[in-house]
Amino acid sequence: MKEEILKIKENSLASIKSCKNLKELNELKVKYLGKKGELTIVLRGMGKLNPEERPIMGSLVNQVRDELNDLVKEKEKELKKEELQKRLETENIDVTEPSKKINLGSYHPITQIIDEVTEIFLGMGYEIADGPEVEKAIYNFDQLNTPPDHPARDVQDTFYITEDIVLRSQTSPVQARVMEKQKPPIKIICPGAVYRSDSVDATHSPVFHQIEGLVVDKNISMTDLKGTLEMFAKKCLGENTKIRFRPHHFPFTEPSAEADVSCFVCGGKGCRVCKQEGWIELLGCGMVHPNVLKNCGIDPEEYTGFAFGFGVERIAMAKFGIEDMRLLFENDVRFLKQF
Ligand code: DAH
């Protein structure tokens, strides 16, 4: 057995020393030191020896194994160094070669409008408020002076999760949430997605976006509302934009109005965008109803406020000349790339 071990030692040392690369070294490692390697096989045969010889052979095998391990480590270092050197000599990088083109996306038209409008109102000292899209019916309706028998609460218009929880049908519930928590002065805008049980066509979608505005303070009047909206319209749609109010009804404002802007394409003469009207319907607005202030813990004798809300898709469509709302949701990159 001793000769056998020494033979293995001689052969293995010689082949490891002369081995040329890491792959070969690995194979040799397995061949001599692995689980089924030659040394292990010899060890298994120890059972046949007489008891005095066993420890002597055992320690000889261990000695050879240690020696082999040391040599393998040393050789490994040497070969790694050699291979690195070879790579450094043969590989060269052309730093002047043009890099791969990165396909950059662009902001979605809806995001662009939200950013632009937000920026204008931030400039006027507003803060951005946020609220949940899955909303309590109390906030979406009751707090906003919209009683249980109001037609807007019908299941045909609103998506109900339970009797008391809806997908918000407007961004107005954020008003109530903010007023409940914050004392006036309040000056917020709130952009976000809203949901209505509408079928999809060129001007309707069951999900769309609104931006809500709310100001509550002492001595806030309708003139503040009109001045604010006029300022906003000029900044967003062009310096020559005019604004007009038409009487309307919303449960949460009194008086209420719908605001139109003079057509920013034809300047009011009449064109395709304004459907020959000269005016484009922009938003709903009004003075916050005293009941809404009361519901939210604000004294209507001390404070007044105005609010407004508009659809982002409508503005995006008018501004970018998009005729079908579906294009904004289909997200065909060829379409979106144009904006
Ligand atoms: N929430 C209304 C809607 O979805 C829009 C609106 C009208 C918001 C008047 C307001 C407002 O804040 O004062 O049609």
Give the residue, by CA position, lying nearest to ligand 1 atom 3. Answer: 170
* pTM exceeds 0.75, yes or no: no
- Average pLDDT over the chain, rounded to an integer: 92
Comparing 12-21, 213-222, 275-284, the range with the smallest average pLDDT is: 12-21
At residue 160, does pLDDT exceed 90? Answer: yes
At residue 136, does pLDDT exceed 90? Answer: yes
Give the residue, by CA position, lying nearest to ligand 1 atom 14. Answer: 284
Please tell me which residue, 17 or 174, carries the higher pLDDT value.
174
Q: Do the Cβ atoms of 157 and 169 come closer than 8 Å?
A: yes
pLDDT digits (tens, 9 = 90+) for 193-206: 999 999 999 889 99
**Confidence grade of residue 156 (pLDDT, cut at 50, 70, 90):** confident
Residues 310-330 have a mean pLDDT of 92
Predicted confidence at residue 91, as pLDDT, reads 85
Atom of ligand 1 nearest to the CA of 253: 13
Q: Is there an atom of ligand 1 within 6 Å of 212 CB?
A: yes
**Confidence grade of residue 62 (pLDDT, cut at 50, 70, 90):** confident
Q: Do the Cβ atoms of 313 and 324 come closer than 8 Å?
A: no
Q: Is there an atom of ligand 1 within 6 Å of 170 CB?
A: yes
Rank 7-16, 199-208, 294-303 by mean pLDDT and report only the highest. Answer: 294-303
Q: Which of 204, 246, 260, 308 to mutate to test the pocket of ligand 1 (most atoms within 8 A of CB)?
A: 308
Q: Is there an atom of ligand 1 within 6 Å of 184 CB?
A: no
CA angle 135, 318, 226 (to 5 degrees): 70
CA dihedral 199, 233, 114, 198 (to 10 degrees): -10
Predicted confidence at residue 232, as pLDDT, reads 96
Give the residue, by CA position, lying nearest to ligand 1 atom 12. Answer: 308
Please tell me which residue, 162 or 11, carries the higher pLDDT value.
162
| Separation of first and last alpha carbons in the chain | 84
Q: Do the Cβ atoms of 337 and 107 come closer than 8 Å?
A: no
Give the residue, by CA position, lying nearest to ligand 1 atom 6. Answer: 309
Predicted confidence at residue 260, as pLDDT, reads 95
What share of the chain has pLDDT > 90, as a percent?
58
Predicted confidence at residue 41, as pLDDT, reads 83
Predicted confidence at residue 138, as pLDDT, reads 96
At residue 43, does pLDDT exceed 80? Answer: no
At residue 67, does pLDDT exceed 90? Answer: no
Q: Is 311 helix (H, G, I), strand (E, B) or coil?
A: strand
pLDDT digits (tens, 9 = 90+) for 92-121: 888 888 888 888 888 999 999 999 999 999
Predicted confidence at residue 265, as pLDDT, reads 84
List the structure tokens of 100: 């791969």
At residue 189, does pLDDT exceed 90? Answer: yes
